[in-house]
Structure 1
Amino acid sequence: ADKVDRPKKNVFHGSFYSEEEMLTLFDAVSGDPLELCVKIAAYYGLRRSEVLGLRWSAIDMEHKTISISHKVIEAEVDGKFVPMGEDVLKTKSSFRTLPLIPAVGIILLEEKEKQEMYRRLFKKSYCRDYLDYICVDQCGKLLRPNYVTEHFSWLIEKYGLRKVRFHDLRHACASLLLSNGISMKQIQIWLGHSTFSTTADIYAHLDYSAQEASANAMNGMFNRPEKEEQLA
């Protein structure tokens, strides 16, 4: 075994949308059951499980904050896959409290009114097991993680958009922050990465400003002084 060359790990670079493509996507999901999930994932770069795990108790409208402290996964119970909430995130850094973006605050208030309307409309038929959860269907049931993935792919194909995964909304968020001058350290905190190196490994190749700085530094590195050129 010592004589065998270890295979090198391929670095994965996720695909992501530009700002213009994100606006097109927002238009496509308008009025769709996945609209809220897509927009929150795009604004905050949340993982799918974190988006589905958002609860109303995590939204502080008074202090304008949003806390990421819960997730929803899909587990097999009696042969059926069902969504299940738990207070265990990927890493300790995944637990974070972020400012509530005004645009997201408006979306959440609209969603709260919509859910209250559905409760009045469906009455006893409305599921009341998940009243604290934000991402539920019209009947009040939790959205399944696999449904989010599958329906998102369906939307992309339906509207002829460039093929990306739901998770790539996280990459789009990071790339747009980076292109707007947000530091890699701030992006690490925003995304909830455990270490700075994790963020740098994934997004360093997108940091064009750093490449420009390197190019400017190298530009005058090997130039001979004018006098030396004349002596030569």
Structure 2
Amino acid sequence: LDLIPNNPADKVEKPKVERYEGQYYDEEDFRELFKCIHGDSIEIAIIFISFFGLRRSELVGIRWSLINFKRQQLKMGTTIVQIPVDGHYQLVVENKAKTKSSIRAYPLVDSITKILLQLKSYQQSMMALCEDSYCKDY
């Protein structure tokens, strides 16, 4: 057994890690984005992500039970994530957030409340139309 007294890797200079600098939208960027998505099926999702700064898993974890219209408040903390199971992905509801600071409540401004009420009305009409075929899982 050949032993060496020192680790030669200790003499190697570590590569410098470049600090990540995120890019942010300004008001003009948001106006352009909202103009592009107006009427699209992802419009509400993009508005919520933009307004509240939500992660995708937080966005899809929003439930009507987390929205308090009387207090004008949206509670966050539930997420839905995809995990690999037997070669395919399965959606899993996690009643915990990624970080402690992710468990929070957001105030609902009038424009967001209006969007939510329209969405709820639409979903209720689809539920009535589709009856037992309507998926209530998520």
Same fold (TM over 0.5): yes
Question: What's the CA shift string for 1:61-88, capped at 9, x where partnerless?
Answer: 1111111111111122343223322112
Please point out which of 86, 111, 121 is paired with 1:113.
121
CA distance in 2, matches of 1:63, 1:70: 19
User: In the alignment, what sits opposite 2:102?
Assistant: 94
User: In the alignment, what sits opposite 2:53?
Assistant: 45
Q: Is there any run of 5+ residues in structure 2 with no aligned partner, and where? A: 1-8
SS at match of 1:2: helix
Question: What's the CA shift string for 1:22-61, capped at 9, x where partnerless?
Answer: 1121122222221111001111111111111111111111
The alpha-carbon deviation at position 19 of structure 1 amounts to 1.0
What is the CA RMSD across the aligned residues, in angstroms?
Answer: 1.5
CA distance in 1, matches of 2:131, 2:86: 29
User: In the alignment, what sits opposite 1:191?
Assistant: none
Q: Which amino acid aligns with 2:137?
A: D
User: In the alignment, what sits opposite 1:162?
Assistant: none
User: In the alignment, what sits opposite 1:139?
Assistant: none
The alpha-carbon deviation at position 92 of structure 1 amounts to 0.9
SS at match of 2:18: coil
Q: Which amino acid aligns with 2:68?
A: D
CA distance in 2, matches of 1:52, 1:101: 20
Say whether residues 1:79 and 2:87 are aligned partners.
yes
User: In the alignment, what sits opposite 2:3?
Assistant: none
The alpha-carbon deviation at position 5 of structure 1 amounts to 1.3
**Count of residue pairs brought into register by the alignment:** 130
User: In the alignment, what sits opposite 2:136?
Assistant: 128
Alignment of 1:21-60 (within 5 A): 21-60=29-68
Question: What's the CA shift string for 1:137-157, capped at 9, x where partnerless?
Answer: xxxxxxxxxxxxxxxxxxxxx
TM-score by length of structure 1 reads: 0.53
CA distance in 1, matches of 2:85, 2:131: 28
In proportion to residue count, which structure has more strand?
A: 2
User: In the alignment, what sits opposite 1:8?
Assistant: 16
SS at match of 2:11: coil
Identity within the alignment, %: 38
TM-score by length of structure 2 reads: 0.85
SS at match of 2:105: strand
CA distance in 2, matches of 1:15, 1:101: 26
